[in-house]
Structure 1
Amino acid sequence: MRWLKQTWSTQWLREPTADELKGLVDDLLNEKVMAREAQEMGLEKDDTIIRRRLAQKLKFLVEDTAQLVQPTEVELRQFYAANPAHFETPGTLSFRQVYFNPEHRKDAAAEATAALGAFAAKVGDDSIEGDRLLFGDSFADTDEQALSGMFGADFARQVFAFEPGGWRGPVKSGYGFHLVLVTQRTATAPKPFETVKDAVLADWRSAKQTELSRNYMVELRNKYDAALDASAKALLGQENTPKVAAQ
């Protein structure tokens, strides 16, 4: 009764009248007995919406349980040490690039290769000319993620493998071909544990939630002996599907 009153008051910003409250109670009782009768009749079976809703509620319960787990300082430090890439200041590059636009050139890749041979020795020569690019020709203190956002992951990965000094390439991006001269590199540096402790805790909880959910699903599959039958395996192209042990 209190819940019905609170729900009504939250929605309508006033208390329900006696008749309104009686109507709310009648509706709740009707809902409960109809739901029970529907279960007796088996109407919930093979209902996708009901199945998904029940699975969703159980998933929420499992995730809430994971949030109750409290790590020790030692566990957090071990997680921090085991996942250094999550808690570090990314390395950066400063570089110049010369762009060869395939829309303006007959063979942009070949022209870039020829230019590399002709100008590789002219590290400080600003006369190296290419096509105009919206991002410009010089980049300072750019990390790999930012570079990937501009030119693509493959381009960023290749450029970050270059050491400073000397023109390299051609490197292909989504725009065309580039000659690249790395002028400066700053190394990736770990952030002190004390400064990222909150982030470590958040990542630890996320990892623990994933671990507990995975293990719980393994237990449920084993409990109900849920496995692919031969016809399902054939459709998936699997000859054998071994059960997965909990971590």
Structure 2
Amino acid sequence: MIRRWARDPLFHFLVAGALLFALFAWRGEEADPESRTIAVNREVQASLALQFEAMMQRPPTDAELDGLIERWLRDEVLYREALRLGLDREDAVVRRRLAKKMDALASAQAETAQPSEAELREWLAANPERFARGATISFDQLYFAEEAAARSALSRLRDNAGWERLGEPLSIPASQERASMRLVTDRYGRQFTAAVEKMEAGDNWQGPVPSGFGWHLVRLQSREQGKIPPLAEIRQRVEDDWRGATMSARTQAAYQVLRDAYRVEIAE
């Protein structure tokens, strides 16, 4: 049982969080904005030297290490003074960055994970539309800058009459005939493509669907399946896609573990 837990990414996420907490507790003087003592111990110096070596492919000279320490001290002093002034509180930017760091902890293992041949074959079989060559779709789209406007327009598209007049101006055509999935992704973005891939072809308008421009209502007219290459030819693409999806899934699963520990009260 213990060995199985040790392989679980959620286990590593929670352990990493505990280690971070322990690190701050052990180096309490650095986390305490009231402290006027800054200890540049050997661990700090070694970390600075290793970061320099990783970037420059050589160890720093004594003079360069002195410069690294001075820059580290400057950041530490300003960091403590920012804490002293309470600049970390009610700051949306700081809040979001800390949340992203927690997400990074959860997905870190997936970044270096090596899937087996069987896992890649299973992934390719489960997501053929992502790798098919020559796959095309034909669709109509209406663009809106705001999601609310798109939802409002959707209710007026039931009879499909005069649909071209409902959208807002956009530099790309309202209709796409036999567009490749690569073209759709390049033009509209991954979120748009992923949403359209899940749609059923027909006369119904669907959405709103997000893109790099804003929001769209989409009527998928037809889909033509392409040919799926052998895994050996597209192995790296399949692995990258698997890794991205795995990172996203592990991040969400780790968040859910933490989320379930809270009771949320939303005022009405």
TM-score, normalised via structure 2 length = 0.41
TM-score by length of 1: 0.44
Tell me which structure has the larger Cα radius of gyration. 1
Q: Which has the higher helix share?
A: 2
